[in-house]
């Protein structure tokens, strides 16, 4: 297996620091991944050598910045196997991407229409559809999951009918790590001619994403969960849809003709990218994907599977620890509670040992209510995570137990 985790770690400068005298053990990659030096260098290089607004200047720096910016779009299109580079729309992140689709769909829905989401949604892929239904009078339906955190496929199929206009679901649950079987779910949704939106925020960094093979209509993700900077994301959609999708944000760059009385919109991707874009963010994300694509993807997947297997074994052997979310098919996410103690207390005491996890409801309050817990502590892994990090977590939890009593 051509994968050397120590070589990977050496490319992430932030991982070498100490917290309160303890080596940093970063186990919060589901919240945001750390950035390799090549991404940091690409952003610094843009600001020190290429900084200019794109598309609009007739000078060297503008041309150079435009080439870098649009080159990053080409990188994204190749990475997800988009049919056309015009299908790649820059946004500020997953949340804005979903809102663009939801606001557009709200104009097309009628009272008899239905939208399906799942019990495991992040708020960004739930509240947006709630609001779209409120605006249009459409009905929001929620596909249930079992106690292991897996979607109930029979119940999901039973919800589908001729009134289903869109199914919006995560590729991977941010709170549980569950990998949804999109190869089964998407064809079911398409059998009733529903549009399908996939929230790929958690899935994009854990596997080969091919939007052509998936067969969805929209796939969205954030750069900061894929080793790139914050404030940049991607909305991919089928060109036939995006060409006529109702615009949400209007202003400069996205127009074709403007008078004092009216305006017409430009062609893709401009029509959905109003205003001055996040050039540095796009260039940084392009660099992050180039870095990620250079890794042996099969080796990465196998390594991450081994990490979650090892972490699960350690968790199951740990007295007083309850794993929350035990799907058969998971990415490197271990959500847990400890001896009835509040997750925030657990996270605080781990932090004092230099161990970074996330605690709370993970922007999935309805999911936590479904599971009957106030929240969880969540350790999440990436390509730079080691077995030693996982060992440090459980050694840290032993100390937490002794302190909490």
Catalytic residues: 363
β-pair type (358-360, 355-356): unpaired
How many Cβ atoms from other residues are within 10 Å of residue 276's Cβ? 13
Q: How far apart are CA 289 and CA 285, in angstroms?
A: 6
The residue whose two tokens read 């996939």 is 198
Q: ω before 270 within 30° of 0 (cis)?
A: no
**Residue 398 and residue 324 in contact, taking contact as beta carbons nearer than 8 Å:** no
How many whole angstroms separate alpha carbon 249 and alpha carbon 30? 29
C-alpha 208/C-alpha 305 separation (Å) is 14
Are the C-beta atoms of residues 363 and 346 closer than 8 Å to each other?
no
What crossing angle do the helices spanning 297-316 and 387-404 adopt, rounded to 10°?
A: 30
Spacing of C-alpha 124 from chain mean position: 11
Question: How far apart are the C-alpha atoms of 111 and 18, rounded to whole Å?
Answer: 56
Which residues, other chains included, contact 317 with Cβ-Cβ below 8 Å and sequence gap of 6+? none
Q: Are 143 and 114 in contact (CB under 8 A)?
A: no
Contact between 116 and 362 (Cβ < 8 Å) = no
Helices (H) and strands (E) in the chain, counts: 14, 17
CA of 81: how far to CAs of 217, 231, 247, 271, 368, in Å?
13, 23, 25, 22, 35
Spatial contact of 272 and 242, defined as CB atoms under 8 Å apart:
yes
Distance CA 40, CA 44 (A): 6
Contact 272, 100 (CB under 8 A): yes
Alpha-carbon torsion (309, 314, 318, 320), positive or negative: negative
Task: Collapse the DSSP code of 343 into the 3-class scheme (helix H, G, I; strand E, B; otherwise coil) and give the result.
Answer: helix
- For residue 23, give both structure tokens: 């080596």
């Amino acid at each position: 297996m051509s994968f050397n985790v120590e070589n990977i770690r050496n490319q992430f400068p932030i991982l070498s620091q100490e917290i309160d005298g303890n080596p940093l053990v970063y186990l919060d990659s589901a919240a945001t991944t750390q950035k390799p030096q090549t991404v940091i260098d690409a952003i610094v290089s843009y600001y020190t050598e290429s900084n200019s607004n794109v598309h609009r200047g007739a000078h060297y720096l503008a041309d150079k910045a435009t080439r870098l910016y649009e080159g990053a779009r080409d990188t994204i299109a190749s990475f997800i196997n988009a049919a056309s580079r015009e299908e790649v729309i820059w946004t500020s992140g997953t949340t804005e991407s979903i809102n663009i689709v939801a606001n557009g769909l709200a104009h097309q829905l009628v009272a008899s229409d239905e939208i399906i989401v799942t019990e495991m949604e992040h708020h960004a892929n739930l509240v947006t559809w709630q609001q779209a239904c409120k605006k249009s009078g459409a009905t929001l339906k929620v596909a249930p999951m079992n106690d292991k955190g897996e979607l109930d496929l029979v119940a999901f199929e039973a919800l589908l009918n001729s009134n289903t206009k869109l199914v919006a679901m995560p590729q991977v649950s941010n709170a549980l790590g569950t990998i949804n079987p999109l190869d089964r779910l998407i064809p079911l949704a398409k059998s009733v001619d529903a549009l399908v939106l996939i929230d790929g925020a958690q899935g994009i960094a854990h596997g080969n994403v091919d939007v052509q093979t998936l067969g969805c209509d929209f796939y969205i993700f954030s750069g900061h969960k894929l080793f790139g900077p914050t404030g940049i994301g991607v909305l991919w959609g089928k060109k036939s849809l995006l060409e006529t999708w109702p615009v949400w944000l209007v202003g400069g760059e996205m127009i074709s003709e403007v008078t004092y009385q009216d305006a017409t919109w430009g062609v893709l991707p401009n029509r959905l990218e109003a205003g001055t874009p996040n050039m540095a963010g796009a260039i940084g994300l392009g660099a992050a994907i180039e870095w990620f694509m250079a890794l042996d993807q099969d080796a990465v997947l196998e390594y991450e599977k081994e990490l979650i297997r090892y972490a699960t074994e350690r968790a199951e052997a740990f007295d007083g620890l309850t794993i929350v979310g035990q799907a058969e098919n998971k990415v490197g996410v271990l959500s847990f509670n400890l001896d009835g103690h509040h997750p925030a207390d657990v996270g605080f005491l781990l932090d004092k040992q230099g161990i970074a996890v996330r605690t709370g409801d993970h922007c999935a309050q309805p999911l936590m209510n479904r599971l009957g817990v106030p929240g969880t502590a969540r350790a999440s892994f990436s390509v730079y995570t080691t077995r030693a990090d996982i060992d440090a977590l459980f050694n840290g939890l032993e100390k937490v137990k002794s302190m909490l009593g």
